[in-house]
Amino acid sequence: MSKIYDFTPSYDISKRYVNFTFKKFYSKFIVIGEENIPHASPVIFAPNHNNALMDALAILATIPHEDPIVFLARADMFNNKMAARLLTFTKIMPAFRMRDGVENLGRNQEIFDRCIEVLDNNKALGIMPEGNQGEQKKLRPLVKGIFRIAFAAQQKHGSNPTVKIVPVGLDYGDYIKFGKHIIVNYGKPIEVADYMEQYSENPVQATNAIRNQLKEGLSNLMLNIDSTDFYDCFETVIEVVNKPLLQQKNIAEDDYSLFVVRQEISKRLSKLEKDKPEVIQLLDALTKEYRNGLSKLKLKTNTLEKAPFKTGELLPETLFLTVSLPIFITGLVFNAMPFFTPVLLRKYVFKAQYSGFFSSLHYGLGIVTFPLFYLLQMLLFANLVSSLWWACLLFIIGQFLLGKWALLLYRKARKFIAKLRYNKLKDSSLLKRVQEIKMEIIRILLDTSL
């Protein structure tokens, strides 16, 4: 009987397809710390958890070897028999929580034993150490289950090989939108064997010590906006100040550099909250007024950063979007059904309310709807236009490329409309006030005396 950690041909085929489509869902993959990924050893990958299934797939898609990873997921996802079989095929096991019923908590022992078996065979586990997920970009308290498994597996192994826990920081350009970047940041492995002597003497102290090391590792690998009372304030300040700070440091702008700068701003704000709470209170008042102003103006920070817009600069964009309109319409026609069907199913069939689950549903449904609709449209093309195999192949490829172009043009058009709106409102007193607040927030954060 095959084990959940076995690498089967059917799993190999499905993994290749999922990895291919997952990498198409995001515009850019930025992998940091690849040298920290162990191979052919008992390892637990421990990422921060904000984006449901996408967090697990991000690790699966960036591991440079083919070894499978067995993940744990909340048990209620296994309530449907068909879903349970699919999750088991994809090497996911259930973890039972109090909300799944007290009577089910005892079933965790079986899962616990299977996790140890995975590690005992030098395979990899994926466990979300926060135990749940949240939309806020902050590290939530780490639960003890991951450490119980790690210590028990190390006890079974003895001193060699050592079980490793690898912290993984995940950062998304957008939790929901297709075509954004993703950063996968692998930290240095934590050697569980280093804590075994302490564990044999005092399991609680050893668990707290290794938990603190994992907490510190994750906090340094992700954007951890560590504030309860001023989270929205911190988030807005980071949005406003990240590019000006990058310019002050004279660092070239790219997605990873902006991520590092956002981390630095978050740490500065945490220090201010501790040392100078009056400054944070001032920033809180300013950011509230700033967000309200932007909402009324229907503008975003990135538009203000690029303003003002001269009429002469907008003419080439006007011409480009006008000439590209037929491409946009064609791409929209051939991709409307696969693009919008997952969204409609998410809204009206699954009725998902939690936005941190949206992209998982869009992606999971999309890997079915895109090939299905492309195939149906290709068959229609073969019947009405040409049944030549090469023409049908070109038609399928063309659908995909036109879809990407349509999405690109849509986003360019939205930015262009925002520029026109800014020019229309440039003399408004509200816009001037919003710009003043923006500059004041930047001044406060970049003040070297703070």
Residue ranges per structural domain of the chain:
9-221, 231-307+433-446, 311-425
Q: What is the mean pLDDT of residues 437-448?
A: 91
54-68, 176-190, 381-395: the lowest-pLDDT one: 54-68
* The domain defined by 9-221 carries CATH number 3.30.1370.100: no
Over 90: is that where the pLDDT of 350 sits? Answer: no
Q: Which amino acid is at 217?
A: G
Considering only CA atoms, give the Rg of the chain: 25
Collapse the DSSP code of 288 into the 3-class scheme (helix H, G, I; strand E, B; otherwise coil) and give the result: helix
Strand ranges in 217-331 using DSSP code E only, listed in sequence order = none
> What are the tokens at 198?
């302490």
With cut-offs at 50, 70 and 90, classify the pLDDT of residue 448. Answer: low
Beta carbons of 246 and 253 less than 8 angstroms apart: yes
Please write down the long-range contacts of 314-319, taking CB distance under 8 Å and 24 or more positions apart: 314/416, 314/419, 314/420, 314/423, 317/412, 317/416, 317/419, 318/416
- b/e map 25-60, b = 16+ CB within 10 Å: bbbeebbbbeeebbeeebbbbbbbbbbbbbbbbbbb
- Residue pLDDT, tens place only, 96-144: 766 666 566 677 788 899 999 999 999 999 999 998 888 899 999 999 9
Checking if the pLDDT of 379 tops 90, the result is yes
Burial class (CB in 10 A: 0-12, 13-18, 19+), 210: buried
Which position has the higher pLDDT, 357 or 299? Answer: 299
**Is the whole-model pTM more than 0.75?**
yes
Q: pLDDT tens digits, residue range 38-65?
A: 987 899 999 999 998 999 999 999 998 7
The residue among 7 and 283 whose pLDDT is bigger is 283
Instruction: Give how far the C-alpha of residue 27 lies from the chain's centroid of Cα atoms, to the nearest Å.
Output: 13
pLDDT band at 355 (very low <50, low <70, confident <90, very high): confident
Mean pLDDT value across the chain: 92
As given in the structure block, the two tokens for residue 112 are 């616990």
